[in-house]
Structure 1
Amino acid sequence: MRRARRRGLAHEAADRVRDAIFEGLVPPGAALREVELATALDVSRGSVREGLAVLEREGLVRSEWHRGARVIDMGPADVDEVYTVRAALECLATGTAAERAAPGHLEELSVLTDALERALDAGADSPALLSLDMAFHDRVYEIAGNSRLTQAWHGVRSQVYLLQLTRIRLGHDQYRSVVVKEHRRLVSMLERGATPALAEAAREHVDSARRALARMLADPPR
């Protein structure tokens, strides 16, 4: 785990722990001990405590009285909950973005989709692919221009990232076969405005990910 660049920065401590969780250095269910983290990150225990509170709000960490903080260990029920919330947010975000998008905005989404396709063809690793995937969705929320909607997205974004990373690692071929096609479909639907077909495309994009991940968790590839 990399040290924080300066002492006393709670958000930077949160960034370092988040990165370690995403990279698999701290596995699901692992204890997050303040003293050990403060030493590893070269920050105060207070900064670690505040950083863990940030991650708890993101849903990556759970704290229990007298037991401390642990990395979330998400099961099938968590998958359903996270993707149900995400589907509702994506439908609202794409619909609002369609109403407010300028031609240049849609071109940006196409460019991000092209970059994702090139990364897939080049054999990029899971974090690189997911970074481009999430950048596409982040941009949709930015185009929508609703600060409270974006705040709601950020409330589940880290959990979505972790679940999507698991999905790619367990089923790279399945992810590769659908993600670019689904993103291009969303861009095409956005060009037509806020329609029921757009809402359905956004919902299906999220639900296909949920179904794929649920299958993989139930029967992990060997």
Structure 2
Amino acid sequence: MGQAHLWLGLGSGLFVCFLGITGCILAFEREIENTVQHYRFVKAEQRSYVAPSKLKEIADKQLPGKHAHSISYQKGKASMVVYYAENPEYYWIVFMNPYTAEVLNVKNMDDDFFRIVIMGHYYLWLPPTIGQPILASATLMFMFLLVSGLALWWPKNKAASKKRFNVKWAAKWKRLNYDLHNVLGFYVTWILIFTAFSGLVMGFQWFAKSAYWISSGGKMMVPFSETLSDS
């Protein structure tokens, strides 16, 4: 098991590191956007918003031939007129002042930094049918790495259990590194197992269905469907 733990760590480590970096960037997406994209904000005024129909009329002139999907209002922020379609595929947002209908920015979301990051996080910037199975398989390897690490860490007796929670700071680098790996790894493993589990639910249908079946007491997963208004 020790060799399997070692080689799986080397094999899945690069993918897990990549997922960790891109996931961290995405976790702070809203904070980063609010800091660098100033057109998202407007000064709140004591007057009524411009009607959605008027915002749409002006925004449509910025993107002729495209159809508005939604319009949003939020106090202190620019209104967003979203243009989205799957066939032909496009995704644009027109940011507007909700009090004056001034166009603040017209953004192609396909070129958005966070859109690019999320495509890497999900698919490694490969076609979904190729990239997604690669990342899901790497996550499965990582899950086995975590479980096997716990098995190797588990003390065989009471005397050994004390060593599992102690770090010899005065020891040479090799021993110090080993102790840090054992002690810190034990605590971090539980967080990583949950993270890997959620990734496997999203990555493999068979895993998602199995997790649902076990957690629901034997019920089958209901297929997701979205109902949209045609008006």
Fold match by TM threshold 0.5: no
**TM-score with structure 2 length normalisation?**
0.24
Relative to its length, the structure with more strand (as a share) is 2
Relative contact order, higher structure (CA 8 A, sep 6+): 1
**TM-score with structure 1 length normalisation?**
0.24
Relative to its length, the structure with more helix (as a share) is 1
